[in-house]
Amino acid sequence: MADASTSAKGDLKLANVTKSFGEFTAVDDLSLVIPEGSFFALLGPSGCGKTTTLRMIAGLEVPTAGTIHVGNTDITDMRPYKRPVNTVFQNYALFPHLSIFENVAFGLRRRGIKDVKEQVDKVLNLVELPHLAERKPTQLSGGQQQRIAVARAIVNRPALLLLDEPLGALDLKLRRQMQIELKWIQTEVGLTFVHVTHDQEEAMTMADTIAVMNEGRIEQMGSPADLYDNPKTAFVANFLGQSNLIQGKIVDSDGDSHVVDLYGQKVSVLKRRTVAKDSSVLFGIRPEKLRIQPDSHDKPGNVLTGGKISDVSYIGVSTQYQVEMPWGQEIMVFEQNDDGVPPLDKGDEVRLSWEPIFSFALDGNEDATAGVDVEPEAE
């Protein structure tokens, strides 16, 4: 049984994979390619189908439709124990009757590996828990159990490692440390990691490619920078970082830009950063890209006038403003406190300006609040 587990190598391909539980579709026509050796993050709100996707890749759930390949090997219906895949389960799923050492050794023993002791000791050192080797899982804290779950999977050096929120129970310091360790293991050994997380910062810092999932579908896939700079849907714009999305209309085109009318004020957006089905758009700009000035100032670039500061929070390195626009919408502005100018006050009349290249435009028929109320780091 060991032979099959190592033979399949190559890119992981999911083609039109669908999983339904009765009436409910948990994963909806999902297609993606994860290149061999890459660090792939699945990011999405709770219940969007991340675990279900991983379970199908691991063979613990059979897709209702679609195929899964590793390289040229079709693994859609392959038994889990034959797949070159290991999983770090969301709920750890450690073996309660075995010691920590035997938990970690489990996969090695099944494959008849020789130097079990050495390999287990090594990986226990890696997760910094060698002193707990003889304990039982119930005698460990949640975070320690989680690290053992990681150790139990990575000790097998599978072609494909599935991590289902493997760091969720760790405190921030340990989590950062484990992120570095995992990233190091991944690059060092050249494994393919599919990492599921709620934590967008974790996804951004660790992954080569991020897929943002929502309601069983992939909203958008790309490098962290690409997703942040060029969101294609309102959900992605709001879920990954924060965005101001303003309802507008394309009224003119000029070279490589569109002219957009926002409640009577004209601004511009690059055509290549515009995703629009018709003239109706959601005009987007990130809070940290906005500049805020007293309303008398005249600045080049795109400008929106008539704002009134409704809230100021001073956070040391930056100041966060809520600006109420003439059409009633609250716009968020993050201003670096690097110019020595004291922060503006609540009630001040202001104008907002930005470099036109920073703005983007989405399909105006979308819900501008999609993905806003989902708290990405909620546990």
Partner 1 sequence: MNATVASPVKKPRSRKIAMPYLLLLPGMLWLITFFLIPILTLVKTSVNMDLANYDPTTGATGSFWGNFWYAFRTHEAPFARSFIYALAATLIALCIAYPLAYGIAFKAGRWKNVLLVLVVAPFFTSFILRTIAWKQILGQQGPVFRLLLDLHLVTYQSHITASAGAVIAGLSYNFLPFMTLPLYSSLERIDPRTLEASGDLYANAFTTFRKVTLPLSLPGVVAGTLLTFIPAAGDYVNAEILGNPSTTMIGNVINAQFLRTSNYTLAAALSFVFMVIIIAIVLFYISRAGTEELV
Binding site for ligand ATP (CB under 6 A): 21, 24, 26, 44, 46-52, 90, 198
Q: In what order do the strands lie in the sheet with 349-354?
A: 291-294, 349-354, 302-314, 318-324, 330-336
Instruction: List the one residue from 89, 239, 321, 354 that touches partner 1 (CB under 8 A).
Output: 89
Q: How far is the CB of 230 from partner 1 (least distance, A)?
A: 36
Smaller CB separation from ligand ATP, 129 or 162: 162
Smaller CB separation from Mg ion, 51 or 319: 51
From 49, 75, 47, select the one nearest 62 (Cα to Cα). 75
Q: How far is the CB of 232 from partner 1 (least distance, A)?
A: 34
- DSSP H helices, 48-165, are 50-58, 100-110, 116-126, 142-154
If one asks whether residue 51 binds Mg ion (CB under 5 A), the answer comes out as yes
Helix, strand or coil, per DSSP, at residue 361: strand
Strand partners, 262: 265
Rounded CA-CA distance 323/310 in Å is: 6
Rounded CA-CA distance 306/296 in Å is: 10
**CA-CA distances (angstroms) from residue 46 to 50, 136, 196, 214, 216?**
8, 30, 11, 9, 11
Q: How far is the CB of 27 from ligand ATP (least distance, A)?
A: 7
Q: How far is the CB of 185 from ligand ATP (least distance, A)?
A: 23
Smaller CB separation from ligand ATP, 58 or 312: 58
Residue nearest to ligand ATP (CB): 51
Q: How far is the CB of 5 from partner 1 (least distance, A)?
A: 6
Binding part of the chain for partner 1, among 53-61, 66-74, 170-178, 289-297 by CB under 8 A, reads 53-61
Instruction: List the one residue from 94, 140, 245, 323 that touches partner 1 (CB under 8 A).
Output: 94
Rounded CA-CA distance 140/117 in Å is: 21
Q: Write the binding mask 76 to 95 for Mg ion: x where contact by CB under 5 A, - elsewhere.
A: --------------x-----
Do 262 and 245 contact (CB within 8 A), yes or no? no
Rounded CA-CA distance 366/215 in Å is: 15
**How many Å separate Cα 237 from the centre of its chain?**
12
- Find the binding residues for Mg ion in span 114-143 (CB under 5 A): none
Smaller CB separation from partner 1, 94 or 325: 94
If one asks whether residue 79 binds partner 1 (CB under 8 A), the answer comes out as yes
| E strand or H helix that includes residue 91 | none
Smaller CB separation from Mg ion, 13 or 50: 50
- Find the binding residues for partner 1 in span 135-194 (CB under 8 A): 152, 156
Q: Which two tokens stand for residue 288?
A: 């940290």
Q: Give residues with Cβ within 8 angstroms of 129, minimum separation 6.
A: 100, 144, 147, 148, 151
If one asks whether residue 81 binds partner 1 (CB under 8 A), the answer comes out as yes
Instruction: List the one residue from 2, 62, 65, 180 that touches partner 1 (CB under 8 A).
Output: 2
Do 303 and 352 contact (CB within 8 A), yes or no? yes
Q: How far is the CB of 168 from ligand ATP (least distance, A)?
A: 9
- Find the binding residues for partner 1 in span 97-136 (CB under 8 A): 97, 106-107, 110-111
Helix, strand or coil, per DSSP, at residue 40: strand
Contact positions toward Mg ion, by CB under 5 A?
51, 90
Residue ranges binding partner 1 (CB under 8 A): 1-2, 5, 58-60, 79-81, 85-87, 89, 91, 93-97, 106-107, 110-111, 152, 156
